[in-house]
Structure 1
Amino acid sequence: MDSPIDTQDTQTKPADSGNPFSSVPIEITISVGKARPLIRDLLKLGKDAVLPLDKNVDDPVELYVGDRLIARGELEELEGDQKGQLAVRLTEVANLQDGLA
Protein backbone atom coordinates (compact mmCIF):
# COMPACT_ATOMS: atom_id res chain seq x y z
CA MET A 1 0.00 0.00 0.00
CA ASP A 2 1.94 3.00 -1.24
CA SER A 3 -0.76 5.61 -0.69
CA PRO A 4 0.55 9.11 -0.13
CA ILE A 5 -0.13 10.68 3.23
CA ASP A 6 -0.56 14.34 3.99
CA THR A 7 2.21 15.43 6.31
CA GLN A 8 1.76 17.67 9.32
CA ASP A 9 3.82 18.68 12.33
CA THR A 10 5.24 15.45 13.80
CA GLN A 11 5.39 16.71 17.38
CA THR A 12 3.04 15.14 19.90
CA LYS A 13 -0.23 17.00 20.20
CA PRO A 14 -2.26 17.22 23.42
CA ALA A 15 -5.15 14.75 23.71
CA ASP A 16 -8.68 16.12 23.44
CA SER A 17 -9.66 15.87 27.12
CA GLY A 18 -13.31 16.58 26.26
CA ASN A 19 -13.59 13.47 24.09
CA PRO A 20 -14.47 10.28 26.03
CA PHE A 21 -12.59 8.18 23.45
CA SER A 22 -9.27 10.01 23.89
CA SER A 23 -8.05 7.55 26.57
CA VAL A 24 -9.02 4.35 24.70
CA PRO A 25 -5.93 2.45 23.48
CA ILE A 26 -5.64 1.57 19.79
CA GLU A 27 -3.43 -0.98 18.07
CA ILE A 28 -0.99 0.31 15.46
CA THR A 29 0.68 -2.13 13.08
CA ILE A 30 4.21 -1.31 11.91
CA SER A 31 5.06 -2.73 8.49
CA VAL A 32 8.77 -3.24 7.87
CA GLY A 33 8.41 -5.06 4.55
CA LYS A 34 6.93 -7.96 2.62
CA ALA A 35 8.28 -11.30 1.47
CA ARG A 36 6.97 -13.11 -1.61
CA PRO A 37 8.46 -16.62 -1.62
CA LEU A 38 7.14 -19.39 -3.84
CA ILE A 39 5.02 -21.90 -1.96
CA ARG A 40 7.61 -24.64 -2.60
CA ASP A 41 10.29 -22.43 -0.98
CA LEU A 42 7.98 -21.55 1.92
CA LEU A 43 7.39 -25.26 2.61
CA LYS A 44 11.18 -25.77 2.90
CA LEU A 45 11.62 -23.09 5.59
CA GLY A 46 12.82 -24.26 8.96
CA LYS A 47 14.65 -22.98 11.99
CA ASP A 48 17.39 -20.47 11.14
CA ALA A 49 16.05 -19.94 7.59
CA VAL A 50 16.38 -16.40 6.26
CA LEU A 51 13.41 -14.85 4.48
CA PRO A 52 14.47 -11.74 2.50
CA LEU A 53 12.14 -8.74 2.58
CA ASP A 54 11.48 -6.17 -0.13
CA LYS A 55 12.98 -3.37 2.01
CA ASN A 56 16.43 -2.33 3.18
CA VAL A 57 17.33 -1.76 6.82
CA ASP A 58 17.35 2.04 6.37
CA ASP A 59 14.03 2.24 4.47
CA PRO A 60 11.10 3.93 6.24
CA VAL A 61 8.52 1.75 7.98
CA GLU A 62 4.77 2.33 7.63
CA LEU A 63 2.28 2.64 10.49
CA TYR A 64 -1.28 1.42 9.99
CA VAL A 65 -4.49 1.48 11.97
CA GLY A 66 -6.48 -1.29 10.32
CA ASP A 67 -5.84 -0.84 6.60
CA ARG A 68 -5.31 2.92 6.84
CA LEU A 69 -1.78 4.29 6.49
CA ILE A 70 -1.40 6.89 9.25
CA ALA A 71 2.35 7.62 9.31
CA ARG A 72 5.86 6.68 8.22
CA GLY A 73 8.96 6.57 10.35
CA GLU A 74 12.40 5.16 11.07
CA LEU A 75 13.16 2.23 13.36
CA GLU A 76 15.48 2.97 16.25
CA GLU A 77 16.59 1.36 19.48
CA LEU A 78 15.65 2.91 22.81
CA GLU A 79 18.41 3.79 25.26
CA GLY A 80 18.82 3.63 29.03
CA ASP A 81 16.60 1.23 30.97
CA GLN A 82 14.80 0.25 27.76
CA LYS A 83 17.97 -0.50 25.76
CA GLY A 84 17.33 -3.11 23.10
CA GLN A 85 13.62 -2.25 22.70
CA LEU A 86 12.57 -1.15 19.22
CA ALA A 87 10.76 2.14 18.65
CA VAL A 88 9.65 4.22 15.66
CA ARG A 89 10.61 7.87 15.14
CA LEU A 90 7.85 9.43 13.04
CA THR A 91 8.96 11.29 9.92
CA GLU A 92 5.56 11.77 8.22
CA VAL A 93 2.11 11.86 9.84
CA ALA A 94 -1.26 11.83 8.11
CA ASN A 95 -3.78 14.54 8.88
CA LEU A 96 -6.08 12.33 10.98
CA GLN A 97 -8.73 15.04 11.39
CA ASP A 98 -9.83 14.78 7.74
CA GLY A 99 -12.96 12.75 7.29
CA LEU A 100 -13.67 12.39 11.01
CA ALA A 101 -16.89 13.70 12.50
Structure 2
Amino acid sequence: MDNDIAAAPIEQNSEAFVDLPSLGETASPEPLEDIAVYEGDGGALGLDAVHEVPVKMQAVLGRARMTVSELMSIAPGRVVELDRKVGEPVDIFVSNRLIARGEVVLIDKALGVTLTEIVHEDD
Protein backbone atom coordinates (compact mmCIF):
# COMPACT_ATOMS: atom_id res chain seq x y z
CA MET A 1 0.00 0.00 0.00
CA ASP A 2 1.31 3.48 -0.93
CA ASN A 3 1.81 5.99 1.87
CA ASP A 4 0.95 9.27 0.12
CA ILE A 5 0.72 11.18 3.38
CA ALA A 6 4.33 10.55 4.37
CA ALA A 7 5.59 11.48 0.91
CA ALA A 8 3.58 14.69 0.64
CA PRO A 9 5.62 17.86 1.21
CA ILE A 10 4.71 19.84 4.31
CA GLU A 11 4.02 23.49 3.63
CA GLN A 12 5.19 25.83 6.36
CA ASN A 13 4.11 29.38 6.88
CA SER A 14 7.05 31.22 8.43
CA GLU A 15 4.66 33.59 10.22
CA ALA A 16 3.03 30.69 12.08
CA PHE A 17 6.24 29.43 13.69
CA VAL A 18 8.44 30.99 16.33
CA ASP A 19 12.04 29.94 16.90
CA LEU A 20 12.24 28.57 20.43
CA PRO A 21 15.46 27.44 22.09
CA SER A 22 16.10 23.71 22.28
CA LEU A 23 16.41 21.99 25.60
CA GLY A 24 19.56 23.27 27.29
CA GLU A 25 19.94 26.32 25.01
CA THR A 26 19.46 29.90 26.15
CA ALA A 27 16.94 32.10 24.40
CA SER A 28 18.32 35.06 22.47
CA PRO A 29 17.93 38.29 24.48
CA GLU A 30 15.62 40.07 22.04
CA PRO A 31 13.57 42.86 23.68
CA LEU A 32 9.79 42.51 23.83
CA GLU A 33 8.68 45.61 21.98
CA ASP A 34 4.93 45.15 22.50
CA ILE A 35 5.11 45.23 26.31
CA ALA A 36 5.52 48.56 28.08
CA VAL A 37 7.68 48.04 31.17
CA TYR A 38 8.08 50.58 33.94
CA GLU A 39 11.28 50.58 35.96
CA GLY A 40 10.92 52.31 39.34
CA ASP A 41 13.58 53.85 41.53
CA GLY A 42 14.92 50.47 42.64
CA GLY A 43 15.12 49.16 39.08
CA ALA A 44 12.41 46.55 39.76
CA LEU A 45 9.73 46.03 37.13
CA GLY A 46 6.44 47.77 37.92
CA LEU A 47 2.94 46.38 37.57
CA ASP A 48 1.92 48.71 34.73
CA ALA A 49 2.11 45.88 32.19
CA VAL A 50 -0.54 43.82 33.98
CA HIS A 51 -3.02 46.49 35.06
CA GLU A 52 -5.43 45.64 32.24
CA VAL A 53 -5.37 41.85 32.73
CA PRO A 54 -8.90 40.67 33.63
CA VAL A 55 -9.33 38.55 36.77
CA LYS A 56 -12.34 36.68 38.17
CA MET A 57 -13.56 38.06 41.50
CA GLN A 58 -16.15 36.30 43.67
CA ALA A 59 -17.87 37.21 46.94
CA VAL A 60 -18.91 33.93 48.54
CA LEU A 61 -21.83 34.25 50.96
CA GLY A 62 -21.50 30.66 52.12
CA ARG A 63 -21.45 27.05 51.01
CA ALA A 64 -23.81 24.10 51.25
CA ARG A 65 -23.39 20.37 50.70
CA MET A 66 -26.16 18.24 49.28
CA THR A 67 -26.71 15.04 47.40
CA VAL A 68 -27.43 14.92 43.69
CA SER A 69 -31.05 13.98 44.39
CA GLU A 70 -31.44 17.03 46.67
CA LEU A 71 -29.88 19.21 43.97
CA MET A 72 -32.28 17.82 41.36
CA SER A 73 -35.28 18.63 43.58
CA ILE A 74 -34.43 22.33 43.98
CA ALA A 75 -37.33 24.55 42.93
CA PRO A 76 -38.13 28.28 43.20
CA GLY A 77 -38.86 29.19 46.81
CA ARG A 78 -36.61 26.47 48.26
CA VAL A 79 -34.29 27.70 51.03
CA VAL A 80 -30.74 26.34 50.97
CA GLU A 81 -29.02 26.54 54.35
CA LEU A 82 -25.48 27.88 54.10
CA ASP A 83 -22.54 27.29 56.43
CA ARG A 84 -22.51 30.95 57.58
CA LYS A 85 -24.53 32.88 60.11
CA VAL A 86 -26.18 36.24 59.49
CA GLY A 87 -23.62 39.01 59.96
CA GLU A 88 -20.57 36.81 59.37
CA PRO A 89 -18.08 38.17 56.83
CA VAL A 90 -18.18 36.94 53.24
CA ASP A 91 -15.05 35.59 51.57
CA ILE A 92 -13.60 37.48 48.60
CA PHE A 93 -11.76 35.34 46.06
CA VAL A 94 -9.68 36.57 43.12
CA SER A 95 -8.82 33.86 40.60
CA ASN A 96 -9.91 31.22 43.15
CA ARG A 97 -7.54 32.55 45.85
CA LEU A 98 -8.91 33.98 49.12
CA ILE A 99 -7.69 37.57 49.34
CA ALA A 100 -10.11 39.34 51.71
CA ARG A 101 -13.25 39.23 53.82
CA GLY A 102 -16.02 41.77 53.90
CA GLU A 103 -19.59 42.74 54.73
CA VAL A 104 -22.51 42.75 52.31
CA VAL A 105 -23.87 46.27 51.74
CA LEU A 106 -26.67 47.79 49.68
CA ILE A 107 -25.57 50.53 47.25
CA ASP A 108 -28.26 52.20 45.12
CA LYS A 109 -30.44 49.05 45.10
CA ALA A 110 -27.44 46.85 44.21
CA LEU A 111 -25.48 44.51 46.45
CA GLY A 112 -21.85 45.24 47.16
CA VAL A 113 -19.15 44.19 49.59
CA THR A 114 -17.18 46.44 51.91
CA LEU A 115 -13.77 44.93 52.55
CA THR A 116 -13.08 44.57 56.26
CA GLU A 117 -9.98 42.37 56.26
CA ILE A 118 -7.17 41.60 53.82
CA VAL A 119 -6.06 37.97 54.03
CA HIS A 120 -2.32 37.37 53.69
CA GLU A 121 -0.84 34.15 52.32
CA ASP A 122 0.60 33.18 55.70
CA ASP A 123 -2.86 33.32 57.40
Q: 1:30 aligns with which of 28, 42, 59?
A: 59
- Between the aligned partners of 1:43 and 1:64, the Cα distance in structure 2 is 27
> What displacement does 1:45 show?
1.5
For the pair 1:92 / 2:122, whether they are aligned, the reply is no
CA distance, structure 1, for counterparts of residue 97 and residue 113 of structure 2: 17
Residue deviations 1:29-87 (CA, integer Å, cap 9, x gap): 11110111233322222122111111123110111122211111111001xxxx11111
> What letter is aligned with 1:62?
D
Once the two structures are superposed, the pairs formed by residues 1-101 of structure 1 within 5 Å of their partners are 19-78=48-107, 83-95=108-120
Aligned residues: 77
Question: Distance in 2 between the 1:94 and 1:36 partners?
Answer: 25
How much does 1:20 deviate? 1.8
Greater CA radius of gyration, 1 or 2? 2
- Let me know the Cα RMSD of the aligned residues: 2.3
**Larger RCO (CA under 8 A, 6+ residues apart):** 1
Amino acid at match of 2:104: L
State the secondary structure of the residue aligned to 1:34. coil
More helix by share: 2
Name the SS of the counterpart of 2:69 in structure 1. Answer: helix
Structure 1 segments, 4+ long, off by >3 Å, are: none
Unaligned 5+ segments in structure 1 are: 1-16
User: What is the CA–CA distance in structure 1 between the aligned matches of 2:47 and 2:56, rounded to whole Å?
Assistant: 22
Q: Structure 2: which 5+ residue stretches go unaligned?
A: 1-45
SS at match of 1:89: strand
Query: Percentage identity across aligned positions?
Result: 34
If the length of structure 2 is used for normalisation, what is the TM-score? 0.53
CA distance in 2, matches of 1:42, 1:64: 24
